[in-house]
Amino acid sequence: MRDVSIIGIGQTEVGEHWGKSLRHLAGDAVLAAMRDAGVERADALYVGNMLSGELNGQEHLGALIADFVGLRGIEAVKVEAACGSGAAAVRMGYLAVASGLLDVVIVVGVEKMTDQKGPVTTASLAMAADAEYEVVNGVSFVSLNALLMQRYMHEYGVRHEDFAGFPINAHKNAATNPYAMFRKPISLETFKRARMVAAPINLMDSSPVADGAAAVVLAPSDVARKFQPLSVRIIGSANATDALAVHDRRDPLFLSAAALSAQKAYRQAGIGPNDVDFFELHDAFSITAALSLEAAGFAERGRGVYLAKDGEITLGGRIPICTFGGLKARGHPVGATGVYQVVEAVLQLRHQAGPNQVKNARIGMTQNIGGSGATVITHILAAEG
């Protein structure tokens, strides 16, 4: 097995792209990543996407996008794992290069969510859950997370406003990210006054529906420097699963797939949570951020929420998270999110994060969650040299 490095990154602004179709968004990100890497060809293209069939009436994205960016003829395929599709595609690219079968692989995550009205998008997102035993009962994706948040507050004696630090931190970091959807800070008052979506989850606990695409170019580490002086090495990559439905999990308040995926990645990288300089986690909802911090080993059970309350997740804190705004404020174009996280981690490790720079960042971790916790993909990245 070979070491794999990221030699190019590209991203589009996250937001409502009324003038751009899915193929244009994906194309923008892929071409930017190829320019950044200085490559004109690749052996394969893996596309992370969840909902193109439902929302855009378009499947078969591998061939569509490969042709659109001038790579007609190469191997190309779509990878789907709900909101974890992006990082699942990165891992497929990693496996392909690590195996020695392919050399240069492009991975793009893309989602075009604003083509449909709200209720259609909400119903489509619910397809990440169990259609026969969750969704048919009128359960939306938000409400599954609300069930977790309610139980968490009950079991650990936590108040709703204790979670405020998550969206406040996310919005603060997004304010200086030119690619973020919401580039303005929010206050505790804004959080407390926000409209309820599924109690206790309100609008400020929730990441937004958005369009966007992000891409990376992967190559064997031994030749990475030939392309890119600032290449970043993937030192851990893992995908783990849990039961699809919340009610089928052994302990709903413990994201066991997140724990398993993080442990596998730590083991491969030969590090532990204390060695991680920043963590791009999956804050689809503020409860998800708390549960992720616990599962990945940054807090005891029931204590993840206090990292936000005590300011330990800020850029200068013990474990900075969502350094460019996270899902909450950069935005959450679902199948693209996992690739955005990796692109942002690369910016941190290249020390190109500008005002969002985590000082002396050497090792970063990204974790992308599919559904309410059923598929979790973790990557650990390290600056080269």
Name the minimum Å distance from CB 129 to other proteins: 9
Burial environment of residue 331 by CB neighbours within 10 A (0 to 12, 13 to 18, 19 or more): buried
Name the minimum Å distance from CB 254 to other proteins: 14
Q: Which helix (H) or strand (E) holds 382?
A: strand 375-383
Q: List the one residue from 30, 107, 246, 365 that touches other proteins (CB under 8 A).
A: 246
**Catalytic: which of 17, 282, 332, 379?**
332
**Catalytic: which of 83, 171, 322, 379?**
83
Name the minimum Å distance from CB 80 to other proteins: 20
Give residues 1-40 in contact with other proteins (rule: CB under 8 A): none
Name the minimum Å distance from CB 140 to other proteins: 5
Q: Which of residues 61 and 139 has its CB atom nearest to other proteins in the complex?
A: 139
Q: Which of residues 163 and 298 has its CB atom nearest to other proteins in the complex?
A: 163
Q: Which helix (H) or strand (E) holds 139?
A: none
17 counts as catalytic: no
Q: Where would I find the H helices in 211-255?
A: 221-227
Q: List the one residue from 247, 310, 352, 354 that touches other proteins (CB under 8 A).
A: 247
Question: Measured between alpha carbons, how far is 216 from 158 in angstroms, rounded to an integer?
Answer: 39
Question: Measured between alpha carbons, how far is 210 from 230 in angstroms, rounded to an integer?
Answer: 30
Residue 358: phi, psi to the nearest 5? -85, 120
83 counts as catalytic: yes
Query: Are 212 and 329 in contact, with CB atoms under 8 Å apart?
Result: no
Could you say which DSSP state residue 4 is in? E
Q: Which of residues 120 and 188 has its CB atom nearest to other proteins in the complex?
A: 120
> Residue 140's closest CA among 373, 332, 371, 374?
371
Q: Which of residues 101 and 136 has its CB atom nearest to other proteins in the complex?
A: 136
| Structure tokens belonging to residue 162 | 């204790």
Provide the mask over 101-140, with x wherever binding to other proteins is found by CB under 8 A and - wherever it is not.
------------------xx-xx--x----xxxxxxxxxx
Task: Tell how far CA 268 is from the center of its chain.
Answer: 20
The DSSP bridge pattern shows strands 232-241 and 75-79 to be unpaired
Q: Which of residues 124 and 237 has its CB atom nearest to other proteins in the complex?
A: 124
Give residues 147-206 in contact with other proteins (rule: CB under 8 A): 147-148, 150-151, 154, 195-201
Provide the mask over 202-241, with x wherever binding to other proteins is found by CB under 8 A and - wherever it is not.
----------------------------------------
Q: Which of residues 39 and 147 has its CB atom nearest to other proteins in the complex?
A: 147
Query: Are 324 and 341 in contact, with CB atoms under 8 Å apart?
Result: no
Provide the mask over 248-267, with x wherever binding to other proteins is found by CB under 8 A and - wherever it is not.
x-x-x---------------
Distant-in-sequence, close-in-space partners of 122: CB < 8 Å, separation ≥ 6: 140, 141
Question: Measured between alpha carbons, how far is 154 from 26 in angstroms, rounded to an integer?
Answer: 43
Binding residues with other proteins: total (CB under 8 A): 38
SS3 state at 68: helix
Q: Which of residues 138 and 385 has its CB atom nearest to other proteins in the complex?
A: 138
| Structure tokens belonging to residue 167 | 């969206």
Q: Residues of 342-351 as b/e, b for ≥16 C-beta within 10 angstroms?
A: bbbbbbbbbe
Name the minimum Å distance from CB 291 to other proteins: 14
List of residues contacting other proteins (CB under 8 A): 119-120, 122-123, 126, 131-140, 142-144, 146-148, 150-151, 154, 195-201, 243, 245-248, 250, 252
For the annotated catalytic residues, the residue numbers are 83, 332
